[in-house]
Amino acid sequence: MAAGKKPKRYQFASSIDLTAAFSSFEIEYLTVSESRVIAIYTQSILNIEVEDGSLENARILDVEVLDHSSRVGDDDPTDLVQTMIGQISRSTGADFREIR
């Protein structure tokens, strides 16, 4: 089931290494460019673009759910993204806020 929602933008209080955070949670990802990855998180496919920095030095991220599995239960794709961003925040020690 395609999610079809607009990307959510998140800003971290300090720079984070997104690829290291993914590795620490064993999140599979494909690097598309210095500022973009496609990630598989809880049977969902996410497009993540860094708007400020790079994958290893990110401050602002746009996160879009490209596909959300209905087998995950009744998890809302937006809740799923917020859970992932929260995990990244806790693992890196960098607070975040949604800015769009």
* Domains of the chain and any CATH numbers: 8-90 (3.30.310)
The pLDDT value given to residue 1:
37
If residue 20 lies in a helix (H) or strand (E), which one and from where to where? helix 18-24
The token duo for 43 is 């049977």
Task: Determine the 3-state secondary structure of 74 from DSSP.
Answer: coil
26-45: per-residue pLDDT in tens?
999 999 999 999 999 988 99
- pLDDT interval class at 5 (50, 70, 90): low
Residue 82 near residue 12, CB atoms below 8 Å? no
If residue 83 lies in a helix (H) or strand (E), which one and from where to where? helix 77-92
pTM for this entry = 0.86
Please compute, for residue 100, the number of CA atoms within 13 A of its CA located in the half-sphere on the CB side.
11
The pLDDT value given to residue 70:
67
